[in-house]
Amino acid sequence: MVKAIRVHELGGHEVLKWDDVEIGEPKDGEVRVRNKAVGVNFIDVYFRKGVYKAPSLPFTPGMEAVGVVTAVGPGLTGRKVGDLVAYAGQPMGSYAEEQILPADKVVPVPASVDPVIGAAILLKGMTAHFLVRRCFKVEPGHTVLVHAAAGGVGSLLCQWANALGATVIGLVSNKEKAAQAKEDGCHHVIIYSEEDFVVRVNEVTSGNGVDVVYDSVGKDTFEGSLACLKLRGYMVSFGQASGTPDPVPLSALAAKSLFLTRPTLFQYVVTRDELLEAAGEVFTNVASGVLKVRLNHTYPLSEAAKAHADLESRKTSGSIVLIP
């Protein structure tokens, strides 16, 4: 038996329970991993609340971890006991001391990357990777608008877009987060609680608007985001922290020939090659200093409920990691 966080009913952070679970031995194509660090992501909150549907109840949340391989399934080659590996995405279940994972979903962690840093960045880093490199390919001369610029993904988006030569506008909720966004490469920072971000973006861009908006907030910001775009701009809605946006009439896009996409990471790392490329670029950029991980919060795994409460009440910035 190992300890894990279990969700027996959907609801608030208090439904996260510290339980004993049986995980068994790895089968063909699987590895057993003892987790050293577990990443916390907003998608974990969506599953806990039921915004996204878990396959069954009870379930162990969590979609990101770094750990050491303790057993490999029969006949498996390419992974061995003692390997330091990471995974991000499916299968859910990283809020546990140990877990069984498909071997083709784990990626090697280079010696240059600390396990806690790896768990803090892989999911968010691969999300930032597909957003700026594939979903909309950010290039020098582009102007990008990043919502929640001091959040886990937002911080990395700002750093990466800046490194790619774009002008970065970041939206944050307070002065403390504004200072962080500046450090992360934002050329302009807007505190949305103090001024109308649509008006301010219009001023900053001399009325031209931005090439792309990366919006993880959803309902509260969606219409404003569309208003900030230039002709043929890209609206990338990749989260809904404030709730699901209202339906969009096509006429709202026709006014400026806008593009709208609602992507998720898992459709961009379908093949093993895509996964290795994304993870490789993330770890390379961490090692070279292009991406700096803001790991401001660690909690014992048993206190995952407190981590969720702090995340949802905006008491956190950057990445959160649970330590088994």
pLDDT at 265: 92
Q: Which pLDDT tens digits describe the chain residue by residue (324 residues)?
A: 999 999 999 999 999 999 999 999 999 999 999 999 999 998 899 999 998 999 999 999 999 999 999 999 998 888 899 999 999 988 999 999 999 999 999 999 999 999 999 999 999 999 999 999 999 999 999 999 999 999 889 999 999 999 999 999 999 999 999 999 999 999 999 999 999 999 999 999 999 999 999 999 988 889 999 999 999 999 999 988 788 888 999 999 999 999 999 999 989 999 999 999 999 999 999 999 999 998 888 999 999 999 999 998 877 777 899 999
pLDDT at 170: 98
pLDDT at 245: 87
Contacts of 220 (CB under 8 A, 6+ apart): 242, 243
Q: Find out whether 238 and 264 touch, Cβ atoms under 8 Å.
A: yes
Measuring CA to CA, how many Å separate 175 from each of 65, 166, 214? 32, 23, 21
